[in-house]
């Protein structure tokens, strides 16, 4: 009798185990097939996904954000075909962390990617990885050295273009160069579902087209050896033939002066690897490697004591120091126009391949640029609207045409979940970004109570430190900068921070809105939070080449 009972119990346990296994397998298969169905839907609905990012693009210089602008027709055309997020923001005006936030849907502090030169850790799951797992081919064509593959932003890409401009010339590529590289890959993969990221950085400093006329010349004993545009920051290497005797090698500025040039405005020259010159210098300068101001010609006295002509190479680069407003604005507009032109070339190429239909276009800028509005020219160390407002537009299947999301505030972290929502791929629960697909549906835009942004400066030794913090509780903003009192703004009434409400509150403290009081109380904690995140970030040990890269692009000072 006991044996029968034992057999029954054993049979029950086996049955329960088998049923549990069947249920587990069925659940696993259900998840697999559900994920596979989602993947197939996304590839069918959006067989091509194109992400175009514009580096350092001030939104006021684009038609979709400023109706007076006529020199960005291709951006305006995309805006007419899709959705424009008029009040979109980055949480840091620095290229690498902003792009990492865009591709991962999390804040830079969460990612540990706080400044250029940090490393994107392997645990961070990015959009290209997600799409690669769903059967998309993936490729990236970037144009700025701070996004090169060594910083590990290439994870998830089948092809990450490493043919950046030759490093002995410059640390950036122009829009035509990026477009040509991307066009070849697109042509080769046009029949397969793909995701391609194209990055244009022409509006980034240096503000000059590569076709600009020369601004400097080099002479030997008064005879012109060559002329170059030093403002492009390209490195030049010149072969010098030196006959026997004494000679003068002279660099001169031929930059036309402007009426609004400042006292400090001038062309600056920097020699690199000048040791090749050393044997022939008859009167060596005190510091041959120091930057030279070409307001007056810079001359090296050379002596060839041999009986025959000798030959050596000299390398140099340069920049325009402290340019005036008119030069910056004029050249910046030309650079934006140039980027827009090749964005148009990219879209036209899709039409030529008959691949424009069904393509999802996502166009984003990583941050803005000061351009002197608040007395600030650059971007990395500030938290003004000029640096933090970004462009974000989308067009493609399921996206309405000509819709402007005007009064709702969104951030760059929202781009990834919005794309995933469109593709029906499911949104990971640990993202801080929110899907904004509801902006053109009944549910409306997803709102966040507040968010915070920061800027970074580098000390003389390259150590980064928090230099600015901004807190948003839309439409209110509090802004802090080192050695200054907090400033307060209502961005719906004052979108470009022309009226500091703090001056009013100082005389009438009883009129301070409770939201501003709360943001002010939170400000100190957020400064400490960003400082702690900066200390814990996943920074790389920067070799001399990477330090030169960051210095050349203005991130470590001159």
Indicate whether 533 pLDDT > 90.
yes
In a domain, residue 16? The reply is no
Q: How many CB atoms lie within 10 A of CB 474?
A: 20
In a domain, residue 557? The reply is no
Indicate whether 278 pLDDT > 50.
yes
Q: Minimal CA–CA distance to 418: which of 393, 391, 442?
A: 393
Q: Rounded mean pLDDT of 306-317? A: 93
471 bridge partner residues: 452, 478
Same domain, 95 and 168: yes
* Structure tokens that stand for 241 in this block: 């033939």
Same domain, 264 and 159: no
In a domain, residue 261? The reply is yes
Please say which residue of 321, 354, 378 terminates a domain: 321
In a domain, residue 335? The reply is yes
Q: At 166, is the pLDDT very low, low, confident or very high (cuts 50, 70, 90)? A: low
Same domain, 173 and 60: yes
Q: Which string of b and e fits 333-365 if b means at least 16 CB within 10 Å? A: bbbbbbbbbbbbbbbebbeeeebbeebbbbbbb
Same domain, 276 and 377: no
Indicate whether 543 pLDDT > 90.
no
Q: At 26, is the pLDDT very low, low, confident or very high (cuts 50, 70, 90)? A: low
For residue 14, the model assigns a pLDDT of: 72
- CATH code for the domain of 466: 3.30.1120
Return d(Cα 178, Cα 200) in angstroms, integer: 7
- 16's enclosing H/E stretch is helix 2-45
Return d(Cα 40, Cα 105) in angstroms, integer: 23
196 bridge partner residues: 50, 139
pLDDT in tens, 324-339: 999 999 999 999 999 9
Please say which residue of 446, 469, 489 terminates a domain: 446
Same domain, 84 and 165: yes
Q: Minimal CA–CA distance to 176: which of 325, 323, 349, 392?
A: 349
Same domain, 110 and 256: no
Return d(Cα 558, Cα 236) in angstroms, integer: 18
Is residue 417 within 8 A of residue 435, CB to CB? The reply is yes
- CATH code for the domain of 117: 3.40.720.10
Q: Are strands 194-200 and 137-141 parallel, antiparallel or unpaired?
A: parallel
pLDDT in tens, 343-399: 999 999 999 999 999 999 999 999 999 999 999 999 999 999 999 999 999 999 999
Is residue 130 within 8 A of residue 99, CB to CB? The reply is no
Q: Minimal CA–CA distance to 234: which of 173, 149, 298?
A: 173
pLDDT in tens, 391-417: 999 999 999 999 999 999 999 999 999
Q: At 454, is the pLDDT very low, low, confident or very high (cuts 50, 70, 90)? A: very high
Q: Which residue has the tokens 């950085």?
A: 201
Q: Is the bond into 160 cis (omega within 30 degrees of 0)?
A: no
Same domain, 429 and 508: no
Same domain, 382 and 519: no
**How far is residue 50 from each of residues 54, 119, 135, measured CA to CA in Å?**
13, 25, 15
Q: Which residue has the tokens 């086996």?
A: 14
Sign of CA dihedral 376, 381, 382, 386: positive
Residue 79's domain spans which residues? 46-207+324-446
Q: Rounded mean pLDDT of 220-240? A: 95
Q: How many CB atoms lie within 10 A of CB 155?
A: 17
**How far is residue 133 from each of residues 29, 195, 206, 428, measured CA to CA in Å?**
17, 12, 38, 14
Return d(Cα 180, Cα 141) in angstroms, integer: 10
Please say which residue of 392, 423, 446 terminates a domain: 446
Give, rounded to a whole angstrom, the gap between the first and last alpha carbons of the chain.
Answer: 93
Return d(Cα 479, Cα 471) in angstroms, integer: 6
In a domain, residue 187? The reply is yes
> What's the total number of domains in the chain?
3
Same domain, 477 and 441: no
Same domain, 58 and 169: yes
In 305-351, the DSSP E strands lie at 310-321
In a domain, residue 232? The reply is yes
Burial (CB < 10 A; 0-12, 13-18, 19+), residue 204, is: buried
Question: What Rg, from alpha-carbon coordinates, does the chain have?
Answer: 28
How many residues are given for the chain?
Answer: 558
Q: At 167, is the pLDDT very low, low, confident or very high (cuts 50, 70, 90)? A: low
In a domain, residue 26? The reply is no
Q: Minimal CA–CA distance to 248: which of 294, 289, 304?
A: 304
Q: At 232, is the pLDDT very low, low, confident or very high (cuts 50, 70, 90)? A: very high
Is residue 456 within 8 A of residue 530, CB to CB? The reply is no
Same domain, 126 and 201: yes
Same domain, 441 and 497: no
In a domain, residue 416? The reply is yes
């Amino acid at each position: 009798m006991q044996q029968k009972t034992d057999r029954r119990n054993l049979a029950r346990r086996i049955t329960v185990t088998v049923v549990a296994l069947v249920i587990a397998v069925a659940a696993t298969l259900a998840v697999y097939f559900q994920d596979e169905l989602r993947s197939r839907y996304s590839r069918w609905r959006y067989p091509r996904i194109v992400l175009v990012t514009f580096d350092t693009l001030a939104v006021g210089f684009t038609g979709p954000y400023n109706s007076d602008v006529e020199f960005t027709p291709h951006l305006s055309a995309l805006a007419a075909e899709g959705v424009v997020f008029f009040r979109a923001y980055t949480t840091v005006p620095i290229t690498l962390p902003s792009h990492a936030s865009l591709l991962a849907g999390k804040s830079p502090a969460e990612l540990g990617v706080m400044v250029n030169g940090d490393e994107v850790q392997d645990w961070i799951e990015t959009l290209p990885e997600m799409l690669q797992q769903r059967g998309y081919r993936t490729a990236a064509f970037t144009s700025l050295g701070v996004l090169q593959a060594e910083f590990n932003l290439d994870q998830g890409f089948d092809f990450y273009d490493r043919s950046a401009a030759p490093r002995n010339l410059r640390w950036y590529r122009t829009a035509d160069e990026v477009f040509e590289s991307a066009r070849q890959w697109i042509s080769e993969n046009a029949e397969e579902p793909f995701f391609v990221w194209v990055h244009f950085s022409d509006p980034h400093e240096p503000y000059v087209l590569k076709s600009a006329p020369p601004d400097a010349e080099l002479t030997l004993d008064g005879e012109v050896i060559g002329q170059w545009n030093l403002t492009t920051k390209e490195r030049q290497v010149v072969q010098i033939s030196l006959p026997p005797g004494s000679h003068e090698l002279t660099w001169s500025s031929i930059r036309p002066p402007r009426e609004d040039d400042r006292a400090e405005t001038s062309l600056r020259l920097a020699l690199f690897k000048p040791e090749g010159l050393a044997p022939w210098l008859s009167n060596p300068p005190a510091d041959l490697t120091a930057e030279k101001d070409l307001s007056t010609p810079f001359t090296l006295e050379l002596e060839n004591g041999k009986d025959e002509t000798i030959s050596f190479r000299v390398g140099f680069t340069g920049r325009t120091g402290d340019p005036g407003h008119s030069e910056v604005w004029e050249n910046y507009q030309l650079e934006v126009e140039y980027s827009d032109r090749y964005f148009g070339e990219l879209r036209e190429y899709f039409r030529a391949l008959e691949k424009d239909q069904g393509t999802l276009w996502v166009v984003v800028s990583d941050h803005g640029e000061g351009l002197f509005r608040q007395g600030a020219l650059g971007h990395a160390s500030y938290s003004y609207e000029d640096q933090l407002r970004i462009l974000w537009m989308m067009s493609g299947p399921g996206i309405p045409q000509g819709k402007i999301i005007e009064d709702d505030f969104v951030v760059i972290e929202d781009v990834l979940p919005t794309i995933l929502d469109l593709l029906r791929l499911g949104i990971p629960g640990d993202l801080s970004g929110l899907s904004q697909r509801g902006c053109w549906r009944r549910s409306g835009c997803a709102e966040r109570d507040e968010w915070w942004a920061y800027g970074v400066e580098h000390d003389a030794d390259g150590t980064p430190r928090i230099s600015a913090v901004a807190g948003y509780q839309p439409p209110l903003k509090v802004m802090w900068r080192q050695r200054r009192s907090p400033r307060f703004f209502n961005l719906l009434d004052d979108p470009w921070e022309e009226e500091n409400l703090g001056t009013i509150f100082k005389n009438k403290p009883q009129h301070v809105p409770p939201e501003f009081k709360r943001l002010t109380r939170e400000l100190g904690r957020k400064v400490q939070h960003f400082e702690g995140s900066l200390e814990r970030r996943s920074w790389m040990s920067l070799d001399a080449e990477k330090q030169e890269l960051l210095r050349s692009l203005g991130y470590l000072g001159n």
